[in-house]
């Protein structure tokens, strides 16, 4: 079995403004460990996927920083999207490039910005799914046992019957629910968080794209014919811009009849806000997470980040404070999901110098 990896790394991380910017979004900054999230993602594959079989899909603004952070990944494996077209096109592009190299490839597709504990169990889940995908031509995703009625994640419902060694047939996908629905999902016992991690034979996902998204497949076949030729970059730009913006979940996974799930028995976080960073970080005796040049007095249960300048905070609680050279964010921890509105405001008012 020839195992490859595709790391999707083109997001903007708007909920992590002002630390996350267009050129260095959240996957390219340090959140929890002394490595960036994308470096952690690659590190997690050690011993499972050879570096020359790891591909990263990013964009022109971020490509140089991706290359500088991932020095052990061949530069030719850093795929530059000319335009953002969501995950179906991203995965399709990486798949035709890998198919050109190895028609029997089995690929694990990973977001670059997740936090996963217990790398050994993570790798066991990938191997189990890859072996099944290779034998069955199925499309496999990893589901996470929900620990709380989370409304920010998608859910996947499975059939009770085990197909093979912790592999279950997927019954349905569910969008991000309201709180009452999330409680019902958990109480049913057959719903899992959608991790956004996929494992399949490259030819199997391309076959399914051909059936369910023929317009995308037609564009990918045109790109495929240009791979390795001098006209590749021009062809990619001309064709890619015409592809439909749609996620792999909407375009394929929710419609395919060959989707399976394996339960991931590891701690996982789709780190989506400063509040989540706070909850995952080690805290001091006052419940604070403090990074950088910070003075505090009578401050409790807060997240304060100020690497570039001295920041003094007195007499507050439950805040997120991110202080950089030219921007400052102050918000309640429970409102940190709303930070993306700041980015929308900056775009609307053409204040890109602060983005």
Tell me the pLDDT tens digit for each residue of 221-234. Answer: 999 999 999 999 99
pLDDT at 252: 97
Quick check: 355 pLDDT over 80? no
pLDDT at 150: 85
The mean pLDDT of 124-130, rounded to a whole number, is 97
Cα distance between residue 108 and residue 151, in whole Å: 26
The mean pLDDT of 102-126, rounded to a whole number, is 96
CATH 3.90.550.10, domain 2-269, yes or no: yes
Quick check: 7 pLDDT over 90? yes
The mean pLDDT of 90-116, rounded to a whole number, is 97
Strand bridging mode 139-144 / 191-201: antiparallel
Local confidence band at 310 (pLDDT 50, 70, 90 cut-offs): very high
Local confidence band at 32 (pLDDT 50, 70, 90 cut-offs): confident
- The pLDDT mean for the chain works out to 94
The mean pLDDT of 70-92, rounded to a whole number, is 96
Quick check: 352 pLDDT over 80? no
The mean pLDDT of 197-207, rounded to a whole number, is 98
pLDDT at 96: 98
Quick check: 272 pLDDT over 90? no
Cα distance between residue 286 and residue 288, in whole Å: 5
Domain ranges for the chain, please list them: 2-269, 274-354
The mean pLDDT of 55-70, rounded to a whole number, is 96
Local confidence band at 151 (pLDDT 50, 70, 90 cut-offs): confident
Local confidence band at 10 (pLDDT 50, 70, 90 cut-offs): confident
CA quadruple 229, 75, 83, 107: dihedral positive or negative?
Answer: positive
Quick check: 270 pLDDT over 90? no
Quick check: 80 pLDDT over 90? yes
The mean pLDDT of 169-195, rounded to a whole number, is 92
The mean pLDDT of 311-322, rounded to a whole number, is 98
The mean pLDDT of 174-187, rounded to a whole number, is 91
Quick check: 354 pLDDT over 80? no
Please tell me which residue, 33 or 2, carries the higher pLDDT value.
2
The mean pLDDT of 250-256, rounded to a whole number, is 95
Nearest by Cα to 217 from 107, 329, 95: 95
pLDDT at 175: 85
pLDDT at 348: 92
- In the chain, the percentage of residues whose pLDDT exceeds 70 is 99
Cα distances (angstroms) measured from residue 198 to each of 7, 153, 178: 11, 16, 25
Strand bridging mode 155-164 / 167-174: antiparallel
């Amino acid at each position: 079995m020839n195992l490859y990896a595709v790391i999707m790394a083109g997001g903007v991380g708007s909920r992590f403004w002002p630390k996350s910017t267009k050129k260095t979004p959240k996957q390219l900054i340090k959140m929890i460990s002394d490595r960036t999230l994308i470096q952690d993602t690659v590190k997690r594959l050690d011993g499972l996927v050879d570096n020359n079989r790891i591909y990263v899909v990013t964009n022109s603004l971020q490509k140089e920083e991706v290359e500088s952070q991932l020095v052990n990944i061949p530069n030719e494996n850093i795929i530059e999207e000319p335009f953002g077209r969501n995950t179906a096109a991203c995965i399709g592009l990486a798949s035709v490039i890998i198919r050109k190299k190895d028609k029997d490839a089995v690929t694990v597709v990973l977001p670059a910005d997740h936090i996963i504990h217990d790398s050994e169990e993570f790798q066991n889940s990938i191997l189990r799914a890859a072996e099944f995908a290779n034998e069955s031509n199925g499309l496999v995703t990893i589901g996470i046992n929900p620990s709380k009625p989370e409304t920010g994640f998608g859910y996947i419902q499975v059939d009770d019957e085990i197909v093979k060694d912790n592999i279950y047939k997927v019954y349905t996908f569910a969008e991000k629910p309201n709180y009452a629905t999330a409680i019902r999902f958990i109480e049913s016992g057959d719903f899992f968080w959608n991790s956004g991690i996929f494992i399949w034979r490259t030819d199997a996902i391309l076959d399914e794209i051909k059936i369910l998204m023929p317009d995308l497949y037609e564009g990918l076949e045109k790109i495929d014919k240009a791979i390795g030729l001098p006209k590749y970059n021009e062809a990619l730009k001309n064709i890619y811009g015409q592809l439909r913006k749609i996620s792999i979940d909407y375009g394929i996974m929710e419609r395919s009849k060959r989707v399976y799930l394996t339960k991931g028995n590891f701690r996982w976080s789709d780190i989506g806000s400063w509040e989540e960073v706070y909850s995952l970080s080690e805290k001091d005796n006052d419940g604070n997470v403090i990074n950088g040049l910070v003075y505090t007095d009578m401050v409790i249960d807060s997240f304060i980040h100020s690497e570039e300048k001295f920041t003094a905070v007195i007499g507050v609680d439950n805040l997120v404070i991110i202080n950089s050279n030219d921007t400052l964010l102050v918000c309640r921890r429970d409102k940190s999901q709303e930070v993306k509105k700041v980015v929308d405001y900056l775009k609307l008012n053409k204040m890109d110098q602060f983005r």
